[in-house]
Structure 1
Amino acid sequence: METVEARYDEADRERIVPEPPKRVDAPERKPFERDRARVVHAASFRRLAAKTQVVGPQSDDFVRNRLTHSLEVAQIARDLSRALGTHPDIAETAALAHDLGHPPFGHNGERALNRLAVDCGGFEGNAQTLRLLTRLEAKTPGAGLNLTRATLDACTKYPWPLSEAPVPGGVHSDGMTREGAKFGVYDDDRPAFDWLRAGAPAGRRCVEAQVMDLADDVAYSVHDVEDGTVAGRIDLTRLDRDAVWHTVRSWYAPDVDDAALDAVLERLQSIGSWPRSSYDGTRGSLAALKNLTSDLIGRFCGAVQQATFAASDGPFVRYRADLVIPEDTWTEITVLKGVAAYYVMQADDRVALQERQRELLAELVEAVWKQAPAELDEAFRADWHAAPDDAARLRVVIDQVASLTDASAVDWHARLV
């Protein structure tokens, strides 16, 4: 019987910079296992613990931050990947890495930095992730973490540059309007991108990247509702359908009518663990909510697994098959997003805070630019001196600010502005 390892060839395991064999007394690990370890030990991965997911990590001890979200996405991706016969280490690593490029304040910070980086090609969290993996993280000079081709490709959610990106539309997972186009590589990172995409169909994501993307969707649709319920913002037993459906259409699915959405909610409410009484903060109530979270994740992933197996015999490796998401499953996920969007993301206090965060980042970028290279971290100072023009130097400043956590961005602003 063919092993999952055997489904990947030497080109999939190739690294940008060839590496010598490890010491004979070192623990034996396969290439994709090494990729996972490198992401887990990366500085940018640790910083996710202090970066906003939906609300700031300093606001509540319970809410998820970018790190806990990434760990949950990784667990979902690994389980689904194993069920499909895709390499679980590749899908898990892509999930662990998928938010590395997020700046302070989540998508709100991404939006602010994109406006400020117009003269150097814009800012996009996924392109920043590729930049970190292939350039900024310190493992192999000139190659970042020097991950394998298959893993880097799985980390590439949008496999195209800005010049080929679709017209932006909709909203991000935390409710921010998508102003900038979604793309996966800056122009000066094209050599690494072209290397990892060698032999790949133009604009198509490998199945491992599709698994990562679905795991992300499932995780934040379910967990944002959980966080909102515990925070007292959402009561799943008393939803304002008219308001939520308006939000669903405004943000995610403009063509879905009330009758279809009512049917979706009734299906979700028929799940045995759907709450019949309001959340009250007791352990029993929290346990019931956790059971609902588990049931929803299993429901969505199970439906996708069945549909994918029905559509293809596989193997579900790289470009030999695609993930299939049933329309009913997609709509159920969308309804949960709409619930969180209406009750949490549109709250007046959050909107006002986001405006101040964007102002802070704009002032900080200006201050760092004026005081560079003296105020840059040593690694970015070297990048500044190596930059050939002002556009490249602006990119260094953006890299520096994007690397900061929410708290360190506030501290830098207090010190420099």
Structure 2
Amino acid sequence: MESESGYRAQDIERYVDEPDKRPGRTAFQRDRARVLHSAALRRLAGKTQVVDPGVSDAAVPDTSPRTRLTHSLECAQVGRELGAALGCDPDLVETACLAHDLGHPPFGHNGELVLAEFAADCGGFEGNAQSLRLLTRIEPKRFASPDVSVGLNLTRAALDAATKYPWPRGGNPAAPGSPKFGVYEDDLPVFRWARQGVPEAPHAPETPGAPAPRVCFEAQVMDWSDDVAYSVHDVEDGLQAGHIDPRALRSTPERADVFACAAGRYAPAGTSPDELAEALDRLLAQPWWPAHYDGTALDQARLKDAASQLIGRFCLAAEGATRARYGTARLTRYAAELVVPREQRLECAVLKAVADRYVMQRAAQARRRAEQRVVIAELAAALLARAPIGLDPQFAAIFTAAPDDRARRRAVVDQIASLTDAAATALHARLTR
């Protein structure tokens, strides 16, 4: 049985106290089980990661690309092992990894952009804030009273570990214009409860402005595990689907496109093209790097080994650098900061840019994203006009009981965010025909 040593009594408190039906389990084992058995996690099987499942515009056999669910499971495996190596409770880190994408709407970030515009007047939309809302309100597991859901009622430490952006919209003093945030105004009470006892971030005198709120160590492990899993596996899926040709990464014009994408979206500010070129060349020089991919069984095995090598490279680098700073102590909550060497951050950024350039920026994918944006926008308008007709019983009840237009619009947003890609497409067809 995993131990909770290294965690305080308040870390394992729940928003609403409840007895354990199975004594002998740790609080974090219960958290993990609740997320693992949630309907929200199952629905991720129907939400696209990067390559659309069942849709191909290349003459290649079905390669069963990853969904949000398989990505979350792989992120959880990476995070569990890295967290355990650094002294975190592995069930706690795995819970955060399993939960980190629960709030993603249909069509991923594409749907997120449309919902953010639709919800601008009722608090906005952000996938991470939606995940917290789902964990603490929408997913039906525990109720404080017949009318007040507390969602999965996870521990304080689990909610904090699942929060990458611990501030409301516009509430990051270090970057007030950032679109990233982790809590809606409606959910501030439980968010503040989860953040009780968090120490303030140290202020660097040479840095203007206030520092960003601190992110707990387990959330940092989750965040890096997410980066590692999707950067590696998105490239793997792109290669298998025939969208990425490894030989293109040695072409000067192709490399320039990749570096421009990496600098603009994924690399730390101020990163030079030379640094990105060095990062890519380090990967290309590895004996396990796939120099070509033709889809044979041998190539598939080599690609799988390359993915494993990359994950080990990124995780071992973070583990070694963090241990070099903090020694062998058990690292939990706010006792440390995860240290990821700049070289590995840039290698990860380059991989993300490769997937972006050759998979997400394809002409066919651009057309598909435009069609998906129309689906979400029209679906939102149709639901708002007809509600509570068209809403699931859970959201129809919330809509009917809502005190004002803002709350009614939020109920529609919650409904759409809960849908899979196929369910959103089908509901749009039914309501707009």
Using structure 1 for the length normalisation, give the TM-score: 0.93
1:227 aligns with 2:237: yes
Residue 291 of structure 1: which of 280, 305, 325 is its match? 305
How far apart are 1:402 and its partner, in Å?
A: 0.7
Instruction: Provide closer, same or farther for how the CA distance between residues 406 and 338 of structure 1 changes in structure 2, counting only shifts above 3 A.
Output: same
How far apart are 1:361 and its partner, in Å?
A: 0.6
Instruction: Show structure 2 runs of 5+ residues with no match.
Output: 56-61, 144-148, 201-212
Instruction: Show structure 1 runs of 5+ residues with no match.
Output: 170-180
Q: How far apart, CA to CA, are the structure 1 residues paired with 2:339 and 2:89? A: 18
One-letter code of the match for 2:77?
Q
Instruction: Provide closer, same or farther for how the CA distance between residues 61 and 156 of structure 1 changes in structure 2, counting only shifts above 3 A.
Output: same
One-letter code of the match for 2:228?
V
8 Å contact 1:364–1:413 — kept in the other structure?
yes
Map 1:97-176; keep pairs closer than 5 Å. 97-141=99-143, 142-165=149-172, 166-167=175-176
SS of 2:225's partner is helix
Aligned length: 400
SS of 1:200's partner is coil
C-alpha distance after superposition, 1:344-378 (max 9, x if no partner): 11111111111111111111011111111122111
Q: How far apart, CA to CA, are the structure 2 residues paired with 1:372 and 1:47? A: 23
C-alpha distance after superposition, 1:25-82 (max 9, x if no partner): x473211001000001111110000001113233255211000000000000001011
Q: Which residue of 2 aligns with 1:184?
A: 182
C-alpha distance after superposition, 1:194-232 (max 9, x if no partner): 000001135111000000000000011111110111111
8 Å contact 1:66–1:99 — kept in the other structure?
yes
Q: How far apart, CA to CA, are the structure 2 residues paired with 1:7 and 1:78? A: 16
Q: How far apart, CA to CA, are the structure 1 residues paired with 2:325 and 2:377? A: 48
How far apart are 1:6 and its partner, in Å?
A: 1.3
SS of 2:49's partner is coil
Q: Which residue of 2 aligns with 1:173?
A: none
Map 1:21-60; keep pairs closer than 5 Å. 21-22=20-21, 26=22, 28-59=24-55
8 Å contact 1:315–1:321 — kept in the other structure?
no
Map 1:324-363; keep pairs closer than 5 Å. 324-363=339-378
298-307 or 230-239: which moved more? Answer: 230-239
Q: Which residue of 2 aligns with 1:389?
A: 404
8 Å contact 1:4–1:86 — kept in the other structure?
no
Same amino acid, percent of matched pairs:
55
Q: How far apart, CA to CA, are the structure 1 residues paired with 2:389 and 2:135? A: 26
8 Å contact 2:63–2:241 — kept in the other structure?
no
8 Å contact 2:170–2:177 — kept in the other structure?
no
8 Å contact 2:51–2:359 — kept in the other structure?
no
Q: Which residue of 1 aligns with 2:207?
A: none
C-alpha distance after superposition, 1:264-306 (max 9, x if no partner): 2221122221123x21111100000000000000001000000
8 Å contact 2:63–2:240 — kept in the other structure?
no
One-letter code of the match for 1:404?
L
Q: Which residue of 2 aligns with 1:81?
A: 83
Q: Which residue of 1 aligns with 2:425?
A: 410
Using structure 2 for the length normalisation, give the TM-score: 0.90
C-alpha distance after superposition, 1:291-330 (max 9, x if no partner): 0000000001000000001111343110011100111111
| RMSD between aligned residues | 1.4
SS of 1:304's partner is helix
Structure 1 runs (4+) deviating above 3 angstroms are none
Q: How far apart, CA to CA, are the structure 1 residues paired with 2:361 and 2:137? A: 37
